Structure 1
Amino acid sequence: MSKTFSDLSRSRLGRLVCLVLVMLLCTRTARADNTVTVEKVEVLLPPSAGAAVMAIDDGKVVFKHAWGNLRSDRTESCTVTTNFRLASVSKQFTATAILLLVDRGVIGLDDTLDRFFPECPEYWCRISVHHLLTHTSGLPDYEKLIPEGTTLQLTDLNVLELLRATIEPLFEPGAKFAYSNSGYALLGLIVEAAADRPFQDFIQSEIFEPTGMNRSLLYVAGMNRVPERAYGHELDAENHWIVGDQSLTSAVRGDGGVYSSLDDLQNWIATLDQEALLSDSSYTKMFSPHVRTDRGQQDYGYGWFLDTYRGERRVMHAGGTRGFTLMLQRFPDRHAAVVILLNRSALEPPADYVERIVDCLLFQSDE
């Protein structure tokens, strides 16, 4: 037995040692390269209590990292499974829920609001689901209708009542683009009415579960709980991060109530790349330029801003609410995407850092 080991093991052991050394060298090199990339991205990020960034190219993750804390007053660190409040990035999920019901023949894009909301203002009879999806409804901003002195959070039904009390639109429905949280709040209620299920339950079973977004949810206080939840932050007078997580409008669902993580958004982006959830017709409508926005050369589809960047087609949406700043950009022709999640209120325009991070991760540019 020992003679057999002596005769055979030397050459095998030598080869094994060489293999291990090569693997260690490759691992060290990969770690060194990754560390440099992490440091480069960290420098480009604005100050934040916590952050998470991911880049996908050709359908493969090329960068995924998290920094900082879930809460400034606790020790738990942010990870790739930390759930951030997506704010207006949530609108793509609301639009997807509507299109699922369109695909099933439950609602139509030309259906007007009087079908879903009895006793509505006369002008709602001229506002269609399409108008809501494209921010062309003319609905007043519900945020501006909140009575002075309000201290309790608004629900979707509170928003509905505020809008029902209005007499006329800001402009004739379909006449122009005007970004509207009001429209997406009503879209959530339309899903609820048409599907005869709570909106958060529909999103969970019809979008999150089929796409493997197993820890994401549409948050409703007292009804569900956000796992590994990042809390929002603001700067105090002494430039310290303090928890500032909820506003009067944070309980409204359709315009910004989703919580999700890098891991789950990776699955969501893959589903979009594969066009696996909706019909071809609905995906075409979602990413078609229905209206020119008031934001430079950008158009709007259903739940997405559309433009080009460095000669490539780009679809994207930013999100911002008390305590959170977020961005999801996709480059569908190359199956690429960048996700940036920060648990802090916006202190500067996202353009100051987002495109530099996109350049660093996808276009190999430090400019």
Structure 2
Amino acid sequence: MRTAAALLSCLLAACASTGGAMQSTAERVDSMMADYTGRVPGAAVLVLRDGEPVVRKGYGLADLEQGTPVTPDTRFRLASVSKQFTAAAILLLVQDGSLSLDDPLRRWLPGLPQATDGITLHHLLSHTSGLVDYEDLLPPDVDGQVQDADVLGLLEGVDRLDFAPGSRYRYSNSGYVLLGLVVARASGRDFPTFLHERIFQPLGMGAVARVDGGPPVPHRAWGYSHSDGNWTRTDQSPTSATLGDGGIYASIDDLAKWNAALDDDRLLRADLRALAFIAHTTTDEADVDGYGYGWRLHASAHGPLQWHSGESIGFRNVLLRWPEQRLTVVVLSNRNDPEPYGLARRLAEAIEPGSEK
């Protein structure tokens, strides 16, 4: 028969081998976020269960030079997590009757070349347009930041596509920049104003689409990269000013409000919300069985997963939703590495065992 001391030793060993099963949820999450803690670029973490925050916390610093800590109100550049808002803006205009998903792209941007004749708004939303990647068209010595109008100008000068519209999937920042311009043309308001008036303000969000040279973003995190043992501010690149593909700054508190609106009719009616989460095309990307409108879709073992990541110089972000489990995980970080998708899956597992599979 084992002694009490031996039983305790076995129990402690078992806890260690399972990552500390006796720890509280908060302790497990803090342990997972250890690399983001201290005087380093940090992260904000949100875990929602049944719409309520289980975890809502900042780690590390939003501004290394000023020593400003990350809080739940810190706004990060979302990068491609922004695409779900661009898609929602198009769907709002469909709901208004201002445009159709089957509209030819050239109806709204007639300066584009003849090669784009077969492209519809649906193709842009689902990354099946065949548009050339605008970043491949930039000169190597580009001076300053590229604006949405600059992207349009680049694409107007290229009378070819990479493939026939609708024939295959290829992730396209070009398509989502053009969608932001379509929103402006169809609504009569610039893209940041439309987002503010139709999405951010009605939901009580403090999110903003940052305009280069415009007002500063309140409670902003600055982006950093790690090199030679040091953190260097790397907040903007030449492509950091485009809007429709990645220009939104938001906090985890903002995204909690956004997440709630995805489950009811306060912004979009049910049939249009459903379109965002239908796999309009398949992909061969890891954990991406199909792409909706601004959302990656994956049939995980824990149930359907709706998610998107966002990476730009100095920022790495991810938002994951398991709608059947009413579970959402958000990780926003102001550093160049690592991508937080795996971390977010582990955070979900800490709340809902089985979600990492």
**What TM-score, normalized to structure 1?**
0.86
For residue 315 of structure 1, give the secondary structure of its aligned residue in structure 2: strand
Matches within 5 A, 1:14-53: 33=24, 35-43=26-34, 49-53=41-45
In structure 2, what is the Cα distance between the partners aligned to 1:76 and 1:131? 42
In structure 2, what is the Cα distance between the partners aligned to 1:140 and 1:108? 23
Contact map agreement 2:209 2:248 (CA 8 A) in 1? yes
**CA offsets per residue over residues 73-126 of structure 1, 9 Å max, x none?**
121111000000000000000000000000111010010111111232112110
Partner of 1:320: 311
1:273 to 263, 281, 290: 263
In structure 2, what is the Cα distance between the partners aligned to 1:175 and 1:355? 32
Q: For residue 33 of structure 2, what is the amino acid of its counterpart?
A: E
1:170 to 162, 165, 168: 162
CA shift for structure 1 position 264 = 1.0
Contact map agreement 2:234 2:314 (CA 8 A) in 1? yes
- Would you say 1:139 and 2:107 are equivalent positions? no
Q: For residue 93 of structure 1, what is the amino acid of its counterpart?
A: F
Contact map agreement 2:345 2:356 (CA 8 A) in 1? no
Q: For residue 312 of structure 1, what is the amino acid of its counterpart?
A: G
**CA offsets per residue over residues 22-48 of structure 1, 9 Å max, x none?**
xxxxxxxxxx94651442331486996
Partner of 1:340: 331
Q: For residue 283 of structure 1, what is the amino acid of its counterpart?
A: R
Partner of 2:235: 245
If you compute each CA radius of gyration, which structure gives the higher value, 1 or 2?
1
Partner of 2:248: 258
In structure 2, what is the Cα distance between the partners aligned to 1:361 and 1:231? 29
Q: 1:365 to 1:177 in 2, by over 3 A?
A: closer
Q: For residue 39 of structure 1, what is the amino acid of its counterpart?
A: D
For residue 325 of structure 1, give the secondary structure of its aligned residue in structure 2: strand
Larger relative helix fraction:
1
Partner of 1:118: 110
Q: 1:46 to 1:275 in 2, by over 3 A?
A: farther
2:143 to 142, 151, 157: 151
- Would you say 1:226 and 2:232 are equivalent positions? no
1:205 to 187, 197, 206: 197
Q: Percent identity?
A: 41
Contact map agreement 2:29 2:350 (CA 8 A) in 1? no
Q: Which runs of 5+ in 2 are unaligned?
A: 1-22
In structure 1, what is the Cα distance between the partners aligned to 2:300 and 2:113? 41
In structure 2, what is the Cα distance between the partners aligned to 1:334 and 1:355? 14
Q: For residue 166 of structure 1, what is the amino acid of its counterpart?
A: V
In structure 1, what is the Cα distance between the partners aligned to 2:327 and 2:252? 14
For residue 183 of structure 2, give the secondary structure of its aligned residue in structure 1: helix
For residue 70 of structure 1, give the secondary structure of its aligned residue in structure 2: strand
CA shift for structure 1 position 207 = 0.3
Q: For residue 265 of structure 1, what is the amino acid of its counterpart?
A: L
Q: 1:94 to 1:111 in 2, by over 3 A?
A: same
Contact map agreement 2:29 2:347 (CA 8 A) in 1? no
Partner of 1:63: 55
In structure 2, what is the Cα distance between the partners aligned to 1:366 and 1:179? 25
Q: Which runs of 5+ in 1 are unaligned?
A: 1-31
Contact map agreement 2:295 2:308 (CA 8 A) in 1? yes
Contact map agreement 1:360 1:366 (CA 8 A) in 2? no
Contact map agreement 1:57 1:362 (CA 8 A) in 2? no
Contact map agreement 1:320 1:346 (CA 8 A) in 2? no
CA shift for structure 1 position 229 = 0.3
Partner of 1:193: 185
In structure 1, what is the Cα distance between the partners aligned to 2:212 and 2:26? 39
Contact map agreement 1:305 1:316 (CA 8 A) in 2? yes
Partner of 1:356: 346
In structure 2, what is the Cα distance between the partners aligned to 1:192 and 1:270? 26
Contact map agreement 1:287 1:306 (CA 8 A) in 2? yes
